[in-house]
Structures are given as structure tokens and as C-alpha cells.
Structure 1
């Protein structure tokens, strides 16, 4: 009898605790579905959000609930629901709020009543910004990126729709991920614990919630790349100088009066929002937002970015963000892309207790099984139902990925890979480079050795020592056991005019990376004969030197030949410290000019000797020099993302420090040191500052040859890319020294639209001002200062500087330099 009573009791408890699925749609009175509406359990912050089709799913335990549905611009609706285990259908039909227009008489020269509300909100801004000292919250985030149109080629390169992840017409979802992250905050620290994460096709998805706070004076919209200066909040300290406001009406929400205020930028080309902000009466807090950024208001890369937020009370005194939806649109280079990010916040705890040491250098940590959650888990926790095409995308791409993983273990797959080598085409040999892959099986996986060859065109150059020079660089990468990698590189160079053949080879072994991302040992051994510049930092590249030599009869590149052997060990540590040690033997051979061929002859000009003319008093003869050197680079305060198998450093607010030391032996007898500090600092509205400060010299300079001098990277061409590491108008070798001490500074400030956004034409083009100075000091006779101002972000990639250079023993120089700079400038480089 007792047995049956216990079974009956267990059955009763199971029925009573069985979860109930409440599902439905949210639409307006016209039958139009309302996307991303908020559906919550009354009296809590637990709830869900409708998807783009206005569909929601809410799972609750058995009991009686009042379900609240709200959507910006519509009246809040409540429904009583009895959850008994069976599925419950609860559809919501919302009607627009009836905006009450206040009877306020605006006298001549008066202002809209919205300004009084905004001033009150500004007064309360810092209070609400700092109101909550600590909390935890669970955040669900779904990201979707969809291609509406895609070109067949970009910059002459054919695009494979399969690689992008869209259909044969170039349309469809190409990016889809979802994650659940617990956010823990205790001023001023934040820590993210990723409970689960996945992306369509397998692997970890994007899991960093981009919570946007309009209580901040300066708002970062997702990432600084979209606006390096940030964007001014409509209730920032000085917002009234940037915005106009109009009160469009008020409505009641749970007994509280809410004001709908239109936000209007006063001027174009400032980093400003447009749209609506909803402010509650009396307590003057943000109720919700519907704000937009466009290219006219300093939005970069994207055409539009819309941010919609709903705030709800966690307690009567504290309101927090319940959901945030970000829409984006982009048309560039023939691509037409739209996307959205949906974030739903739940389980706020305003009084958490954090153990000692909880906040540390790891600011984001993935649970070990974060990427291993099954479909049943995701269906049970997802607060935003997948749209039909999203569910299809997950199913199809996950299946394809699994099939590929299964196939990769099969003999058939291995054989098919071996039977389908990529054919070598003439244009690849000449223009693009080519290679071959050998597939093989190791344990249960298929791995590969790869052969690569640079294109012939990239190996062609011209200089006055070799004439036409051809470089061939074949390399082979070997996949070794335990995730180690060995690369075998070769360099064969032939000068057609001096008929010198130079060749060297090298091996580089990369450790197994078992103790963390980037934390590995690297051993390098190479030797042979090669040609190199006297300044090993290569201040002028082969392309620019070839152009100047052939077209303008200026041979700036100065070379010598060496037989050499070099051994190096380096290690990257998990704390982002980098350590290296090197032994290098060189048998140096001077070389001379062997050709004076130019395309455009100019009798007024003659080529300078290959020996740097600025160092004519310092002889360079055959010599043997052995150097032993070490380098330590460290950036303190590193923060990390901890993945299940490794850590990844993500930067620090502190600068990077580098210490170098070199000792010379045999024909060389010197001790050389250098200490440098480098940093990038973003001051948001005031722009960004970059600097590189260094000091160094020779403790001992008994015998220092030209290659071992301290060289300052000069530049005598119109083109420069070594910003914050060069002197734009300085001759290449005029200031080279073996002095006991020198100091150098490179500083530049990127205004990022701070001044040019007020100048007609420039503000439309988004050409930004950059200015700075480069200087070094050795002694009274050897010093140099230059100042420059220029424009960058021209066509998103070009930078043009006007430079004035001053040296105490020479006349002031004026010049123009062109390089790459701007939002996309770093992606373009050629030397």
C-alpha cells in the first residue's frame, strides 16, 4: 500500500511541476505582426521576445500567471494564463497608444516642453548611470546576417557562394549564432561567463553582449570601428548643444506617465542619433529608445544602425534593460547586407555575493561544454523563437558540417581529396602564386603538407646593383604530430646585370600550443647567401625603389651581400609577453652599382654610389661580425578570454614596453641597446592619439660597421606607410649614429572628424584631420624635428600629409607624403 501511495505522490508532483509552453503571436489591430515585442511574466523580469514574425514561446512551471505584452508605441496588454501542463495559446493584439498632447502655450522665442523634460533627464543621468553598484544577469543573444545581393567578383577575384554560405543566387543567411552569457558586474569590473554558444555550421558563436547605455555621455555603438569618436547620447551632459527636441505626446504605462520625445540632430556630420527617446515623468528615467545612426552622422562602414531598447523595473526604484534589438544595413562593393542582433536579459540579481578573486584578468570565460549543447537544450532556453529560415539554416549547415566531419575520417574522402588537386594556371604562376597540398591520415583525422610558391611578378624588382632582380620563394609547411608545424622556406635571387646568384634556406618549428593560444615556442635556423639593405628595417621597399630608380633616376636602396647563419628562439607567453634570443653570424661583402639604365634619361642627374653617400667617411669593407641579441616585449594589464582549451590575450589599457640588446664580436666590437614605449589611446570625441617613444645608444662602440649603426627610418619618396616608426622627410642614412645615447619620439593625433566635420565638402566626404610630430636628438649637430598635418580616410583608405622638416644644420624641408590611413587603410599595404 505504501508503495502505491509513494508512486501516486511522485506522479502528482511530476504533473504539478511539468513545464507548460505558452505560445502565440503579437500583432496590431491591422493584423500586422510586431517583431521583437516583449512578453513577460508580470512582477518579474523573466520573459521572452517575439521573433521577426511576431511569434513567441514562453515556458513556465504549472501555476497561474499574468502575462504582459508590450511594444514601443502600443498599449501594454495583460492576460491571465493558467498553466496546467498542456500547451497554451495566447495571442496578443495591441492598439497604438493614445498620445496626449499637453496644453502648453509656447510664447514667441520660447521652447518646446520637451526641453524641460530632457534637462531633468540630464540631471538624473549620472545617478542612474551609477545607481547599481553590482548585479548579475543572464543574457541570450542571437545574431543574424543575411545577404540580399552579392557580386560575382570583387577586385577581380571570383566569389564562391558556397564559401560565403549563401545560395547559388547570392542570397540567404551567411552568419547565424546564438549564445547564453551570464554578466557579472561590480563597479568598475565586468566578467562574462558563456554558458552556451553555437554558430550555424558548428563551433562557438559570437558571445559578447553589446549592452548600449544611453546614460553614458559617449555611447559606443557595438564597436569603435563603426564610430571611432563614439556617439553623443541624447541625454548627455551637453546634449542640448547637439540636439533639438520635440514632445510628440505622453501616455500612461502602469500608472506612470511616459513622454515620447523626438530627437533631432542640430547639425549633420556630427556623431549623433536621430529618432525617439521615451522618458518617464517625475523620475526622469529612460523608458525605451528607438534611435538610429546613419552615414550622415559619422557612422562608418554601415549605412544605417537602429537601436531599440525596452527598460523594465527590476525593483520599484531600479529599471534595467529587458531587451535590445539592433538592426543594420550595408551596401558596399556590390554587397547588399542586412542583419540584426537580439539580446534578451533575465534573472537580474541586484545583490550578488562574489567570492574573493572572482574579478581577475580573465574577463570572459567559456564553460567547457559551451559548444556541446544539444538541440533539446536550445529549444528549452531560447527566449526568441527561430524564424523559419533560421531554423532551416541551422539544420542544413549543421548537417553539412557533421557530414564533412564524418567524411573527413573516411578513406573515400581522403582518396577524393588526393584525386582533385587544384590545377596550376599560368596566371597563378605569374600573378597570384600557386601551391599543392598532400593529404594524409594521422590518427582519426586527415592532415596535410602544403607547398607554396609566390608569384613571379612579386619577385621582380630593379636596383642599380643587380639591375633586374628575380626572387623565387618556394616553401613547404609540414604538419607534425601533437599540433606542431614545421616550415621550410627558401629564397633564390638572381641579379641579371651583376650575374650574382644568392640563395638561402631556413627551417622554423612552431611548438604545439598546448598551454594556450599564442603561447608557444618557435625555433628558427637559417643560412646561406643573401642581399639586404644596410638598415635592416628596410626603409624603402622594392616596388618604390624600382619606380624611383627607373623613372626618376633616384637609387635610394643601398645593399650589401652576406654569407650568414642565424639561430633564433622565441616564445610568446599567455600574459602576452614575448621573449626572443638570437645568434647571427655574417660574412659581409660590399657590392657596387653595375647599371645606370633608366626609362627617362636626365643628363642633370647621376646615380649615387651604392655606399650611402651620407656615410662616405665611414668605410665598408669585407668583414665578419657575430652578434648575440635579445628582446623582451611586454604589455602589462593584459585581459584575457578563456576558451575551453586555451586563453587569448585581448589587450590592455597600458602601453607596450620593449627592451632590446645586441652584442657584437669578431670584427665588430659594440654593445647596443634600445628601450621603447608605444601605445594607442582613444579619447572618443576628442580623437585618438598614437605615440612611439624610444631611447637607446651604445655602451661600447669600439668597432661599429654601417649595418650595426643606429639608423632612423628616413623616407625620400612620396609614399610612406611606416607611421609612428619613421621620419617622413629625413634622408635614409644622414643621421645614422653610434653615439652613446639618443632619444626619439613619434606622435600623431587622429581627429576622426573633430574639426573637419564642420567644414563643407570635407564633412560630406568624411575626410579627417591627422597631425603630429616626429623628432630625435643625438647631439647639437645631429638632431631632427618634423611636424605634419594631413587628411586621412580619403575613400576610406588614403592618407595625405604635408610635412615640414627642420634640422639645425640645414634648411627647412617641405614635402607631401601619401600613404594608407582611415577606416580601411590598414588593410592595404605595398612596399
Structure 2
């Protein structure tokens, strides 16, 4: 027995020794002893590699054995060493020599006769082959990001600012750094799933942090490449099928690496201020494939946002004899905001490629990313053992400093003091005026939100001056569930009318978007349920311009609703409500400026004449049932420890709606059936031309035996200078004139050219404006009467086709449009419409 145990012990020791890893490390410099930042190092005939850090330092964890290690970086001669690891760590410092790219008697001129033109034609000819060469693969991805402040204006940098940014006494230092390790899975043509194993950020006091490897997935074999946030435009690859229309090419020279001839080609934009790159590309002659790229964009030439320069470097290595894939991708950037100069980088290192992962059927189910519940809990020992790129001394010190600060900032005493400071309420502050105020208790995960003051005090001609006090109470739970209560009190002083209602919402299964809600009480509602003006803007237009556009009625109601995602991408919404609806009339005629040429209109949108009150509908009861099914094609989502988050879709959505007025139950007076179909997409990339948005809705009343004006189908109109830019809204359509109980078709289309034209105009291009054009259209089965008042029939004017066309410019949330509308063949309204964030 003892002999057997001893034998097993020796086997275990031998296995442990054979699995022992050793550290191969060193520093990579050039001929002038300057560190070669982000040089690539990989083991030949494997897919295991790493990248040097900013100071040229690198390290490997390897088992004992003999390895052929390749050191390379664009612009330097490839260096190969055979290294044997036996029983200890090794340090191997490397000097990379500048690479002499020789023209070999050929003259590059930068025009169509340059040899580079023929070379690039051959590479572009094989673009589609290499784009589709690999059907599927999996790999490990390490992503690292660093942002640092390099200088700041003395007038703006003080101790408080430096302390808030966690900088040193001089106001310089690392603002932010992050690391993540993921398993990345791909299947042609565009299926991805990323599983994040570990994530770390420097001193970020958040519940969770992550960095997606997919954000750094660059494939220059694709025609265009979008960089989110950098520009609304897509950038043309130097290897795109139409690249010859955008670039000139110049052969810089040739070199031989590992028996392959590499051509260095300068990429030169044919025209300035287009969405194109500058720099150099490296291609393998004979194979006509990408060897590496070293390209850049500038704010001056490419009109990019956020940064002044962005350098993109990428290096490919052979995974097999015929398949090459990236070993690293690097975004290097720098910029200047109000004198604060910053720079940084994001680096992705790819390892352990598997070209035959054998994904099971259904593996790519819409989940594009899953973050492990313990990803943010990995300790320093884990990171020291698993990060492929060593920290610099500055980065390591920053981690230690900010981790220490984070420990202090996560103590109950600090968190309680921070909670008290955030809950400090100032009723006369600008923040409360515009954004409202939130009280939050971190221990119980309860919050109370007060609506902004601008949404609390109002004026209209029905209620007079009034107060609409609404608060939102939310209780969150560790499993992602939440419960909310929303009470509302509304009082109009002129009408002496008090309304109160109470709402409940229970989000009981976040993974399936399952929500149960109910609301009951009394309220003042808009006759147009599609959308008109907010309380704030209606107050302004009524008081200062004597335009009381919004028409109101009173309801005493109860409503219950249920929502659930049946399968990924298919969302069901249902609702049942019972209401008593009462017509209201104008009771107040106060205004800020007495304009004797204008008179308030009646609270009946169909009144004739419009200034004289008349009955629109009798008091009635309505039992209404609603249901809708919304399908998102190929819906994608991210699963995080704190919930499931839907990603913006690349494809349109389709929604089927049904609404029924039920008669005879609980005294309900309505009897109708309405159905409609929506097809919409609010961001559809259109190559280099920018992006489009559209919405098409067709609907009809299957029967309309008994219904009232608020039961009609209404449209998202606009009356006033400020408009809502949401796709599906009109610029000039009156709020109530086109409401219908018959069949209709509405269509909206808008295209954002993303600065393609204005970026070419001197001075104007500095504003970085985006050009917008659009059109809205409405047609409906004609009807001429509205008989919702019993024996008193109101005349609803016959309406033909309605259309409007507009052009505009926007920058972030600011937008100005000029448009013109047509009622049938007659011009109706034209003018400017603006948007500046408030609706």
C-alpha cells in the first residue's frame, strides 16, 4: 500500500514539474536604444503571442522547451531567436533594426503608373477571398486601455480638479486604465459571441466595468469600417473594392521577411476632407494579402470627433500555411480639450486561435456577450499570472494608488457621506429646474425621483395655472428585479379641479423583459394620444403666444398591463383599461402678453367657429383591450451580472397592433376594432453616405360602430417652432385635423449625410455639422363627419394627401430644419423648426 502511494506521489510531482511554467521576458529597443512600444512577439508555428508595453517590455509564460520566438513591428526588420527554457526564468533583450525597404530600381511616383497601383489591384482582387476564407474560429483576447493627461492650463487646474481626477501634484497622470480577458467566438458571416472572464479598471467606483473585445475588431478586408463615437461616417478601407476612387498608392520599397517579400505602400487620399485614411500598408507579394497596417486619421483631414489624431496599427501572423489572422490591433490617440492635452491607447492581443471550434447548433443565439459573475472580482495574483502585456512602472503605481483609494471610497463611512452629499436638495438649483432630483439610499437600494420643476408648474386654458406633482419611488433587488410606485397629484386653480392617480410597476424577470403594471385614479389627458406638446412647451405657447394648441379631457380610469419577451426578439405587450371620459371646456384666459389680435381657441379641436365652445362628445364609458407584438430581426443582447441588455439592432423592426373597444360590459359605450402594422428602423447605415431612418405605418378600423374622438387613430404632429426629431413625427402636421376612424397610411424617411458635404467647405467644416434631409407623408380614406355627440353632428373637413419635405443641420442634440408642407396639392406651411434637447 505504501509503495502504491509513493508511486502516485512521484507521478503527481512529475506532472507538476512538467506543467511548470517559466517567465521569458525582456525589453525591445531600436538602434538608438529607444523602446519599441507595442512590438509583437509570437512563438513560430503556434498561435501564442504577446505584445510589448509602452516601454518595450514584454513577457511570456512558457513551459520548459525550445521555442522559435519572432519579434516584429512595422518599419523594423523581423528578428527571430531560438530560445531554450529548462528550469529557470530567462531575460532576453532585443534590438530591432530599422527596415531598409528597397525600390530595387523601380520608381514610385504616386500616380497610376506607380508599381503600387498594380500591387493593390491584386490585393483588392483577393479581398473577398480572404474576407470569407475563415468560416469560424475562437481565440483568447486581452484588451488594455490607458488614458492619461499630459498637460493642463494652470488657470483651470487646481488642487480640487487634480484630486477629483486622481492626478499627481502637477496635474498630470493616468486618468483611466482598464484590462479585460475574453474568449471571442466568430462564425461567418457576422455571428459573434464574447465571453468575458476577467475585467479590471483603475479606481473606478462602480458596481461593474467591462471592455468589449468586439469594439477593437478591425477587418480591413471589409469595404468600410465604422468607429463608434469618432464619426457618423464610415471610413473607406485602403483595400476596399472601390478604394481606387479614394486613394493613390506609392511603392516605398520591398523587403524580405521569413522568406516572404513584403511591399511597403504609402496610402495617399485623392481628395481632402473625405472619410479616408493616411499612412502605410504592408502586403505579402505573391499571396497578395495584408501583412500589417499603420494608418491614421486626423481631425484636420477627416473631421473626427473626440480626438485630434487616431493611429491604427494591426499586424497579421500565419495561423496555418494559408490562413493569416491579426495578432494585435492598436488604437493610439491624442487630443486637446480647452487646453487639457491627453493621449492614450487601446490594445487588443489575440492568442490561441482555434479554426475548428465545432460550435454546437444554436450556440449563436443572439447573445453577443456574456460577462462572468466573478469577472470583476479577480485579484492581483490572477492578473499577474494571466495578463500577456506587463504593466509599466507608472501603470502599476497607478493601480496601487487607485486601488487604495477605491478601498477607502468603498468603506461604509465614505459611501454614506457621498450618499448624503448626492441627496442634498436645492429647490432653486438649475439642476432641479431642468433635470429634477433623485434621492437614493444605497443600503436599501431605494430611490425617490422628483420631476423637474419645468414639468411641475403649468398653465393651460382648461385648468388655468396648475401644479402636476409626480414622484417616482423605485426599489431594486440583487437579482435585477425592481418595483416602482408613481403617485401623481394634479390641481388646476381656475377649474378648481383635483386629479389623483397611482401607478405600480413590477419588473419581475429582466431576462425576458417581463413587466406587470397597473394604474388607477383620475387624470387630465390629451385628446391626441400619439403626442402633441409637453406641459412646459404648452405653457410657453399658451401664455406668451396665445396658442392653446393642446386639447384636453378628463378621465377616471383603471388600467392593467403585462409585457414579456416570448422568444428572443419577439416582445408581447397587452393592456386592458376601463375609463369614464368627460369633455372639458376653457375656464381661464390669463396670459403674459395681451395680444388683441389673437383669441384662444375652444377646447374642442373640431369647433366651428374655432373660438366658440361646443360639445365634442358626451360623457361616456369605455372598456378597451390592446395588444401588440414587436419583432426585432436578429436581436442581440449582452448578459451582465446585473441584468440583460438589448443591443441596438442592425435590422428593421416590425410591430403588429390591435385595439378593441368592447361594448355592453360594465356599461361600456364603445364598439370598434382597430389594427395597424409598423415597420421601422431608426439607424440604418448606408455605406459611406451616412445613415437613414424610416417608419411606415398602415392601419384600418375593421369596424367603427361606436367610438369617440379620443378613440380615433391620431398622428404625431407638431405646431410650434420646437419639434421632436423622433422618426415617425411630423414637422408641421396639425395635432387633431387629420385624426381618423378609417384606413390610413403614413410614411417617414430621413437621411443623415454625416457631414459628407459640409466637411468640404472651409470654416464651416470646423463646426462638424451633419446634413439631414427628410420627407413625411400621410394619406387616409376620406371622411367628412364626426358623430360622437349623439344628435349633434360635427363637420370634420375632408382631408386628402398630406406631405412635407425638409432639410437641416445638426450637431449632437442641436438641430435646425427648414421645411415645407402640402395639403393635397396646395402649399400649407413652411418655416424653420428647431430642437435643442428639450421636448
Q: TM-score range by the shorter chain?
A: 0.7 to 0.9
The correspondence for 1:799, drawn from 801, 809, 815, is 815
Q: What is residue 442 of structure 1 aligned with on the other side?
A: none
Q: What is residue 829 of structure 1 aligned with on the other side?
A: 837
Q: Tell me how far apart the structure 2 counterparts of residues 140 and 481 of structure 1 sit (CA, whole Å).
A: 29
Q: Tell me how far apart the structure 2 counterparts of residues 475 and 108 of structure 1 sit (CA, whole Å).
A: 65
Identify if the C-alpha distance between structure 1 residues 358 and 587 changes in structure 2 by more than 3 Å, giving closer, same or farther: closer
Q: What is residue 242 of structure 2 aligned with on the other side?
A: 238
Q: Tell me how far apart the structure 2 counterparts of residues 464 and 148 of structure 1 sit (CA, whole Å).
A: 58
Q: Tell me how far apart the structure 1 counterparts of residues 637 and 110 of structure 2 sit (CA, whole Å).
A: 58
Which ranges of 4 or more aligned residues in structure 1 deviate by more than 6 Å? 1-10, 106-110, 149-154, 158-165, 167-170, 412-421, 614-618
Q: What is residue 503 of structure 2 aligned with on the other side?
A: 507
TM-score (norm 1): 0.87
1:710 and 2:713 correspond: yes
Alignment of 1:279-678 (within 5 A): 279-295=283-299, 296-332=301-337, 336-367=341-372, 369-398=374-403, 401=406, 407-408=411-412, 422-428=423-429, 433-434=436-437, 436-437=439-440, 446-479=443-476, 484-496=481-493, 498-513=494-509, 516-517=510-511, 519-528=513-522, 530-572=523-565, 575-613=568-606, 619-643=616-640, 647-664=644-661, 665=663, 666-678=668-680
Q: Tell me how far apart the structure 1 counterparts of residues 441 and 197 of structure 2 sit (CA, whole Å).
A: 37
Shift of 1:572: 4.5
Q: Tell me how far apart the structure 1 counterparts of residues 600 and 358 of structure 2 sit (CA, whole Å).
A: 75
The correspondence for 1:779, drawn from 762, 778, 781, is 781
Identify if the C-alpha distance between structure 1 residues 481 and 197 changes in structure 2 by more than 3 Å, giving closer, same or farther: closer
Shift of 1:499: 4.4
Q: What is residue 207 of structure 1 aligned with on the other side?
A: 212
Task: Specify the SS of the correspondent of 2:826.
Answer: coil
- Are the aligned partners of 1:197 and 1:204 in contact in 2 as well (CA < 8 Å)? no
- Are the aligned partners of 1:456 and 1:472 in contact in 2 as well (CA < 8 Å)? no
Shift of 1:166: 5.8
Q: Tell me how far apart the structure 1 counterparts of residues 632 and 350 of structure 2 sit (CA, whole Å).
A: 35
Q: What is residue 94 of structure 2 aligned with on the other side?
A: 92
Task: Specify the SS of the correspondent of 2:384.
Answer: helix
Task: Specify the SS of the correspondent of 1:96.
Answer: coil
Q: Which runs of 5+ in 1 are unaligned?
A: 440-445, 821-827
Shift of 1:812: 1.0
What do the CA deviations read for 1:783-824 (whole angstroms, capped 9, x no partner)?
A: 33324231233x43333323222223x73124134344xxxx
Q: What is residue 101 of structure 1 aligned with on the other side?
A: 103
Q: Tell me how far apart the structure 1 counterparts of residues 579 and 154 of structure 2 sit (CA, whole Å).
A: 51
Identify if the C-alpha distance between structure 1 residues 96 and 9 changes in structure 2 by more than 3 Å, giving closer, same or farther: same
Alignment of 1:131-170 (within 5 A): 131-148=133-150
Identify if the C-alpha distance between structure 1 residues 764 and 735 changes in structure 2 by more than 3 Å, giving closer, same or farther: same
Q: What is residue 248 of structure 1 aligned with on the other side?
A: 252
Shift of 1:48: 1.4
1:818 and 2:833 correspond: yes
1:684 and 2:687 correspond: yes
The correspondence for 1:71, drawn from 65, 70, 73, is 73
Identify if the C-alpha distance between structure 1 residues 396 and 571 changes in structure 2 by more than 3 Å, giving closer, same or farther: farther
Shift of 1:340: 1.4
- Are the aligned partners of 1:23 and 1:55 in contact in 2 as well (CA < 8 Å)? yes
Q: Tell me how far apart the structure 2 counterparts of residues 483 and 637 of structure 1 sit (CA, whole Å).
A: 24
Q: Tell me how far apart the structure 2 counterparts of residues 611 and 12 of structure 1 sit (CA, whole Å).
A: 91
Q: Which moved more, 1:24-33 or 1:171-180?
A: 171-180
Q: Tell me how far apart the structure 2 counterparts of residues 455 and 732 of structure 1 sit (CA, whole Å).
A: 25
Q: What is residue 807 of structure 2 aligned with on the other side?
A: 790
- Are the aligned partners of 1:714 and 1:729 in contact in 2 as well (CA < 8 Å)? yes
Q: Tell me how far apart the structure 2 counterparts of residues 107 and 170 of structure 1 sit (CA, whole Å).
A: 47
Task: Specify the SS of the correspondent of 2:801.
Answer: strand
Identify if the C-alpha distance between structure 1 residues 415 and 237 changes in structure 2 by more than 3 Å, giving closer, same or farther: closer
1:196 and 2:197 correspond: yes
Shift of 1:431: 6.1
Q: Tell me how far apart the structure 1 counterparts of residues 830 and 151 of structure 2 sit (CA, whole Å).
A: 44
- Are the aligned partners of 2:246 and 2:269 in contact in 1 as well (CA < 8 Å)? yes
Q: Tell me how far apart the structure 2 counterparts of residues 697 and 292 of structure 1 sit (CA, whole Å).
A: 54
Shift of 1:106: 7.3
Q: Tell me how far apart the structure 2 counterparts of residues 752 and 205 of structure 1 sit (CA, whole Å).
A: 29
Q: Tell me how far apart the structure 2 counterparts of residues 263 and 418 of structure 1 sit (CA, whole Å).
A: 54
Task: Specify the SS of the correspondent of 1:549.
Answer: helix
What do the CA deviations read for 1:52-91 (whole angstroms, capped 9, x no partner)?
A: 1111111211122232211221122233322122221111
Identify if the C-alpha distance between structure 1 residues 5 and 256 changes in structure 2 by more than 3 Å, giving closer, same or farther: same
Q: Tell me how far apart the structure 1 counterparts of residues 123 and 94 of structure 2 sit (CA, whole Å).
A: 32
Q: Tell me how far apart the structure 2 counterparts of residues 419 and 691 of structure 1 sit (CA, whole Å).
A: 46
Q: Tell me how far apart the structure 2 counterparts of residues 121 and 230 of structure 1 sit (CA, whole Å).
A: 21
Task: Specify the SS of the correspondent of 1:380.
Answer: helix
Identify if the C-alpha distance between structure 1 residues 31 and 801 changes in structure 2 by more than 3 Å, giving closer, same or farther: same
- Are the aligned partners of 1:57 and 1:384 in contact in 2 as well (CA < 8 Å)? yes
The correspondence for 2:703, drawn from 700, 703, 708, is 700
Identify if the C-alpha distance between structure 1 residues 356 and 61 changes in structure 2 by more than 3 Å, giving closer, same or farther: same
What do the CA deviations read for 1:761-795 (whole angstroms, capped 9, x no partner)?
A: 554543333223211221254233324231233x4
What do the CA deviations read for 1:231-263 (whole angstroms, capped 9, x no partner)?
A: 111121221221122222222222322222221
What do the CA deviations read for 1:681-702 (whole angstroms, capped 9, x no partner)?
A: 2122133221111122322322
Task: Specify the SS of the correspondent of 1:384.
Answer: coil
Q: Tell me how far apart the structure 2 counterparts of residues 764 and 416 of structure 1 sit (CA, whole Å).
A: 44
Task: Specify the SS of the correspondent of 1:511.
Answer: strand
Shift of 1:569: 3.0
Identify if the C-alpha distance between structure 1 residues 370 and 418 changes in structure 2 by more than 3 Å, giving closer, same or farther: closer
Q: Tell me how far apart the structure 2 counterparts of residues 96 and 207 of structure 1 sit (CA, whole Å).
A: 34
Shift of 1:6: 7.7
- Are the aligned partners of 1:743 and 1:778 in contact in 2 as well (CA < 8 Å)? yes
Q: Tell me how far apart the structure 1 counterparts of residues 241 and 422 of structure 2 sit (CA, whole Å).
A: 63
What do the CA deviations read for 1:145-182 (whole angstroms, capped 9, x no partner)?
A: 3345789999xxx9987776667887544443322223
Q: Tell me how far apart the structure 2 counterparts of residues 269 and 534 of structure 1 sit (CA, whole Å).
A: 49
